[in-house]
Amino acid sequence: MRSVMMGLVLRQTKVKEADCILTILTPEKGLISAVARGCLRLKSRLFSGCGLFCYSEFSLFEGRSLYTVDEAQVQNNFFGLRQSVEGMALAMYLAEMTLALSPVGEEAAAQLRLMLNSFYLLSQNKKSPAQIKAVYELRTACGMGYMPDLLCCKKCGRYDGTPFRFDMETGSLLCAECAGQEGESPNLDGAALTALRHIALSEDKKIFSFTLKEESLQRLGAVTEGYILRRLDRPLKSLNFWKNLTLPGQ
């Protein structure tokens, strides 16, 4: 049976001389696997639409275990990602995270929108990679059913006016005083906490619309990374590559 659907290529595995098995994130069926025969040949009509991180309209035939790509019309190849090693490293990390979570149904459609927006901003240098990473991590966790409790301190009910500690295991907050009583220290300043709430609670089109100073962005990124990693069933190799590129002294 032939079907047409939009999708983003998250993984490209070479088989034989010029064939690939693609892992594609689609809004209707989540992650699917499809063989693209001859797509690595420059003259192939599948070449442009089946590349890694291409968002394309795919014409597919469904087989027993794999789809077969008949046509692929590229809509956006996010060429800007390939202009820097840092951009590609972050894209690989976002893709590996998504593959590990395997979203389905409405989750897949929301994840695809988030990934397309993130890739666009990254490829066009419209937001810093660190900010895109933090937004993607927390919004992904929320979309997969791991919405943190960011309203107030879980012990005393305090909302603001002090640094806070975000517990990456439970997804809850402690004000500085309550954290100290438990032998913990704050890991969020006021600006980072506001951004954390903004990412989790804003509508899709506004989640990237904030700015932070470098120190606050580092605090934000540390907690969003820790929070999503605790909800995955395996480590992500691409994260180490990203860190080796971006951390001072590496």
- pLDDT, average across residues 71-82: 95
* Whether residues 121 and 202 fall in one domain: yes
Which residues constitute the domain of residue 62? 2-77
- 9: domain CATH number is 2.40.50.140
Question: Is residue 58 located within the same domain as residue 105?
Answer: no
pLDDT at 139 over 90: yes
pLDDT interval class at 141 (50, 70, 90):
very high
CB atoms within 10 A of CB 145: 8
Q: What angle do CA 233, 239, 241 make, to 5 degrees?
A: 140
Give percent of the chain above pLDDT 90: 90
The domain boundary, picked from 24, 59, 77, lies at 77
Measured between alpha carbons, how far is residue 119 from residues 85, 96, 133, 196 in Å? 14, 14, 11, 21
For residue 22, the cross-strand partners are 12, 34
70 and 190 housed in the same domain: no
**Is the predicted pLDDT of residue 188 greater than 70, yes or no?**
yes
Per-residue pLDDT for 39 more than 80?
yes
Of the candidate ranges 4-8, 25-29, 229-233, the one whose mean pLDDT is the lowest: 229-233
State how far the Cα of 57 lies from the Cα of 60, in Å rounded to an integer: 10
Separation of alpha carbons 58 and 23, rounded Å? 12
Question: Are 128 and 195 members of one domain?
Answer: yes
> Using CA atoms, how far apart are residues 233 and 185, in angstroms rounded to an integer?
27
What 3-state DSSP class applies to 247? coil
Whether residues 188 and 96 share a domain: the answer is yes
For residue 191, pLDDT beyond 60: yes
Report the CATH number at residue 229. 1.20.1440
Q: Provide mean pLDDT across the span 35-46.
A: 93
User: Is residue 234 located within the same domain as residue 163?
Assistant: yes
| Residue 232: DSSP 8-state | S
If asked whether residues 89 and 43 sit together in one domain, one would say no
31 shares its domain with 120 = no
What pLDDT score does 64 carry? Answer: 85
Q: Please say whether the beta carbons of 94 and 65 come within 8 A.
A: no
Angle between helix 190-201 and 214-229 (nearest 10): 50
Compute the distance between CA of residue 80 and CA of residue 92 in angstroms, rounded to an integer: 14
Q: Strand 19-26 vs strand 30-36: parallel, antiparallel, or unpaired?
A: antiparallel
Give me the pLDDT at residue 250, please: 41
Query: How many domains are there within the chain?
Result: 2
Q: Are residues 89 and 211 in the same domain?
A: yes
Same domain, 146 and 227: yes
User: Domain check: are 94 and 68 in the same one?
Assistant: no
Last residue of a domain, one of 55, 77, 99: 77
Q: What is the mean pLDDT of the chain?
A: 94
The model's pLDDT over 104-126, given as tens digits with 9 standing for 90+, comes to: 989 999 999 999 999 999 999 99
Same domain (yes/no): 126, 101: yes
Average of per-residue pLDDT across 13-32: 94
Phi, psi of 157 (to 5 degrees): 85, 5
CB atoms within 10 A of CB 142: 20
User: Final residue of a domain: which of 77, 106, 132?
Assistant: 77
Q: Is 176 helix (H, G, I), strand (E, B) or coil?
A: helix
Q: What is the model's pTM?
A: 0.95
